[in-house]
Structure 1
Amino acid sequence: MTQRDTNSDIATQVRALLVESPDDALPMTYQQVAQALGLAPPRTIQRVAQALEQLMAEDVAAGRPMIAALVVSRRGDDLPATGFFERAVALGRFPADTCQHKALYIAEREQALRDRC
């Protein structure tokens, strides 16, 4: 993939990757997504994050579970990066109360796994 690929192109490819991946390969890390798409530096993780934010907006607008919930940080806590939660709040999917975020994320991830299409 080249630097010229647009966020929409990358978002389309990320959605296809997450839909087509077997359940036992999910969730994926941001780095795994970048590698699977063949993204070349610089800013590979940033481009994946931007694509995921686009997918989140599309899914919320369509009333679907956020497929972006199937991508997590490599920190080891099996959660997405902070930007996921900030965007979910901005989109009205999650409340501002961060105490609820982990449980809501787990429910969102499970629903996204079940409803992939």
Structure 2
Amino acid sequence: MILRISRQHWQALIDELDDARRQRHLLTYRSLIERLQLPTPAMTTLTAALEHLAMLDAQAGQPLRSALVISQGASRLPRPGFFEHATRLGRFNGAPDGTAAAAWHAAEVARVFDFEFRAPLQ
């Protein structure tokens, strides 16, 4: 997926995720799109940005901040594409739904909450 996001939106995404991390709460895809005021196609842009951020975090040996973004549904998990991308990054191995995904996600969120992200990512 090609990343097409303005520097302003990218920095706003990083800031929103950092704020969520500090407050120890999760964001829904919809709320993040609204907060960032992403232009159409907003979900495609957000997905590409979150995947790019996950790649940067993985390369830096950091927890995946994109784990803080979840679906509105009852599962309270990210969409299956998140788990598929985490698998490609070598971070997750399993089905993108079910107890293994939920357990891994909960552990990754805890890692994000406890990690101090220092270096700004471009």
* TM-score category (smaller protein): 0.7 to 0.9
1:102, 1:116 → 2: CA distance?
A: 23
**Paired residue for 1:106?**
106
**Paired residue for 2:26?**
27
What 5-or-longer segments of structure 1 have no aligned partner? none
Q: Tell me the CA shift for residue 34 of structure 1.
A: 0.8
Q: Provide Cα deviations, 1:28-84, integer angstroms capped at 9, x if missing partner.
A: 0011111111113x2111211111000100000000000000000112211000110
Q: Tell me the CA shift for residue 16 of structure 1.
A: 1.5
Check whether the contact 2:4–2:45 (CA below 8 A) recurs between aligned residues.
no
Q: Report the aligned-residue RMSD.
A: 2.0
Identity percentage of aligned residues: 29
Check whether the contact 1:19–1:116 (CA below 8 A) recurs between aligned residues.
no
Higher normalized contact order (CA 8 Å, seq sep 6+, divided by chain length): 1
More helix per residue: 1
2:114, 2:80 → 1: CA distance?
A: 24
2:76 is matched by which residue type in structure 1? D
Instruction: Give TM-score, length-normalised by structure 1.
Output: 0.83
What 5-or-longer segments of structure 2 have no aligned partner? 118-122
1:79, 1:116 → 2: CA distance?
A: 23
Check whether the contact 1:59–1:67 (CA below 8 A) recurs between aligned residues.
yes
1:108 is matched by which residue type in structure 2? E
2:64, 2:46 → 1: CA distance?
A: 15
1:107, 1:12 → 2: CA distance?
A: 26
- Give the SS at the match of 1:77: coil
Count of residue correspondences:
110
1:111, 1:11 → 2: CA distance?
A: 22
